[in-house]
Chain A
Amino acid sequence: MQLMGWGRFPRTEGQVSTPRTEAEIAALIAGGPLIARGMGRAYGDAAIGAHALSTARMNHMLDFDPETGQLVAEAGVTLKDIIAAFLPRGWFLSVTPGTQFVSLGGAIASDVHGKNHHTEGSFGTFVDWFDLMGADGIVRRCARDRNADLFHWTLGGMGLTGVILRAAIRLKKVQSGWIRQTSIAAPNLQAALDAFEATYSATYSMAWIDCAATGDRMGRSLVMNGEHATLDQLPPAKRANPFAARGHLSPRVPVDFPGIALNRWSIRAFNELYYHKGRLSTGTGLIGWEPFFYPLDAIRDWNRIYGRRGFMQFQCVVPLETKAEGLTQILRAISASGSGSFLAVLKRFGPQESRLSFPMEGYTLALDFPVNTRSLALMPMLDAITAGHGGRFYLAKDSRISAETLRRTDPRWAEFARMRQDTGLKAAFTSAQSERLGT
């Protein structure tokens, strides 16, 4: 069948197996190269290939310790499942990406980050251990003090060290399902960067950035900060039922939008509206956890909005020293190309030392582009600007950078590839992405 990631580009012909037991997984691994696949929310080709092993039926929660907040669960359990079960008991994810439709295995393999990266780190920070099945079919418990190399290679290792079977993660205690959000309208890039630095101590922060704006409005943004609301910060009506979930999934996007619906004018109009709507509602207010963390989840199958050919996400991080220059050049290249992105997100990362994980101290920018000749011509220019400013790329989003670009921007992967070669992992675990990038 046809396999694809969230961006619906690229697509490969491949087989999917859905094992239910460890023995079945071991037999599949023995049968030739494969790649683990969770919820398929990686945008590009990280979880596709000739043979994908789906963790959809390995989705049991196994243990929870209300003293420590440690949850043990199988890799196919989704973040949505975890919130549904534990938020009503006063626990939330310590780190969450911008969608709930992500598996625990996928969150570890991409070492995902959330709006609190600068204050609390990436997903891996809250992983106590996981069980990993390797090329030999043997299950190894990996932790910071046990099979430590494998532990660190697997965080951000994009499924290329084996199949994560189950993991222990720590949840965070919260008093409510509400977030106190403060939004700041920043009229240009420098103002946005200043706002991030001035509010660095806020637990959560991110910005919607308008990449269609030019001139002195280039980089104008809505910077959003948030804190979990405590009980005494809730109005009495909400205090009685502080975890009540709000917001429902709206109907799916039924068919692929015609590609024409998204042109530079509609994007510009959308951003114009979004910015001004946001500018008018700046200040502090309470917002439910769903619209705060997962605004896109409200539109199911929104990835179809880009039409049949699909879309690509460009996500890079540029270090603090070169942030302003790097981001300005990227925004300039985008507006000059006339390509645009509905959804562009800017976020400050805190420091992170890790074997393979994407984040480093600096600013990350994420943009969606429809697959067409114009975007395909623009992207290598953005790659070059990123590389020239000491930045790097997020493989969970990537579908097209070259092996050469990866080698130049992120030498850690070459060492990883050697390790995979030496330990037999390379022959057992391959994705379309690992073949493209030589990882």
Chain B
Amino acid sequence: MKPTLLILGATSDMAQACAQKYAAEGYDLQLAARDPEALAAEAQDLRLRHRVEVSTHTFDVLDTAGFAAFLEALHVLPDTVLCAVGFMGDQPASQANPEAAAVVMRSNYEGPALILGALAERMEARGHGTIIGISSVAGDRGRASNYVYGSAKAGFTAFLSGLRNRLAKKGVHVMTVKPGFVATRMTEGLPLNPRLTAQPAEVATAIWNAQKHHRNTLYVKPIWLAVMTVIRLLPEALFKRTSL
């Protein structure tokens, strides 16, 4: 029987690249997004190219009350889950408007953490599984330009790290992905440095390889580990004056 991958936030560019990669490697797919209509073409494409089973599901990460029903409706508990849900928001808006900030916090931390937590329970009971969360280098240190998003990702990173620690001996592996800059819908139009920017397909291959080797934390482009190590090590007295 083929293994199954559940993707939360399946409309994301990175998620679509991962779907292609895992389907090419023989996984059946469960694609979940707010608007499953938007998944129809992708699902059909995956079936045609790779001859795998693909189902689509409605999933809103802000609807925490609906999580139990969502999981019930899946029929099959996936072998691997990938959470690509994320929402950058607009930093000035998040500063000015607590409701805007709350949506960013809930979309990047509360919702992803709770749904992966619920899946972890079931995987632990079953005795195996892999959980992959896409967090961000933005969570490595809060910066003026995007600390609302960054702090939510920091929370998500810490949650994944704790979950990994807890499940390490239970057959469930947890992997944290920090993609660095990726050329996706989220970053379209931003002047990204091409050396620091990955393509979605590169992210997918890196995630696939990292899962195979049971990596814990993945920086897709290794240069990001160096960059973030330097940023993390800057003394606060100095860091607070920078504009990074």
Contact = CB atoms under 8 A, between A and B. Distances in A.
B45 interface: yes
Contacts of A59: 45
A61 B48 contact: yes
A74 B41 contact: yes
A60 B45 contact: yes
Interface in B8-23: 13
Contact of A60 (B13, B41, B188): B41
A60 B185 contact: no
A353 interface: no
Contacts of A57: 13
B49 interface: yes
A63 B185 CA distance: 26
Interface in A11-69: 18, 20-21, 57, 59-64
Chain B: interface size category: 10 to 19
A20 B12 CA distance: 11
B188 A18 contact: yes
A63 B50 CA distance: 13
A85 interface: yes
Contacts of B44: 60-63
A410 interface: no
A332 B188 CA distance: 50
Q: Quick one: which of A59, A60, A61, A74 has the most chain B CB within 10 A?
A: A60
A128 interface: no
Nearest to A89: B51
B49 A81 contact: yes
Nearest to A71: B48
A124 B49 CA distance: 23
A60 B39 CA distance: 11
Contact of A63 (B38, B48, B49, B188): B48
B42 interface: yes
A85 B188 contact: no
Interface in B30-52: 38, 41-42, 44-45, 48-50
Contacts of B185: 20
Nearest to B44: A62
Contacts of A85: 48-50
B41 A62 contact: yes
Contacts of A64: 48
Interface string A63-88: 11000000000100000010011000
A120 to B, nearest CB: 25
Contacts of B50: 85
Given A18-B188, A20-B185, A61 B13 contact: no
Contacts of A63: 44, 48
B200 to A, nearest CB: 10
Contacts of B45: 59-62
Contacts of B41: 60, 62, 74
Nearest to B183: A18
B184 to A, nearest CB: 10
Nearest to A57: B13
A18 B38 CA distance: 16
Interface in B190-221: none
A74 B48 CA distance: 13
Contacts of B38: 21
A74 B42 CA distance: 11
A38 B42 CA distance: 19
A61 B49 contact: yes
A59 B13 CA distance: 12
A56 B13 CA distance: 11
Q: Quick one: which of B38, B45, B50 has the most chain A CB within 10 A?
A: B45
Contacts of A84: 49
A234 B49 CA distance: 27
Contacts of B49: 61, 81, 84-85
A63 B45 CA distance: 8
B48 to A, nearest CB: 4
A21 B50 CA distance: 23
A55 to B, nearest CB: 13
A42 B225 CA distance: 39
A18 B45 CA distance: 19
A21 B13 CA distance: 13
Nearest to B11: A20
Contacts of A61: 44-45, 48-49
Nearest to B185: A20
B98 to A, nearest CB: 31
Nearest to B188: A18
Interface in B137-178: none
Contacts of A62: 41, 44-45, 48
A168 B13 CA distance: 25
Contacts of B42: 60
B186 to A, nearest CB: 12
A302 to B, nearest CB: 21
A405 B210 CA distance: 57
B84 to A, nearest CB: 15
B183 to A, nearest CB: 9
Nearest to A15: B189
Nearest to A58: B41
Contacts of A81: 49
A84 B49 CA distance: 8
Nearest to A18: B188
Q: Quick one: which of B38, B42, B44, B49 has the most chain A CB within 10 A?
A: B49
A61 B45 CA distance: 5
A20 B41 CA distance: 11
A60 B44 CA distance: 8
A81 B188 CA distance: 25
A16 to B, nearest CB: 10
11 contacts: A18-B188, A20-B185, A60-B41, A60-B42, A60-B44, A61-B45, A62-B41, A62-B45, A63-B44, A63-B48, A85-B49
Interface of B: 13, 38, 41-42, 44-45, 48-50, 185, 188
Interface of A: 18, 20-21, 57, 59-64, 74, 81, 84-85
Given A57-B13, A85-B50, 8 more contacts: A20-B185, A21-B38, A59-B45, A61-B44, A61-B48, A62-B44, A62-B45, A85-B48
Give me the 4 closest cross-chain CB pairs, A-B, nearest first: A60-B45, A60-B41, A61-B48, A85-B49
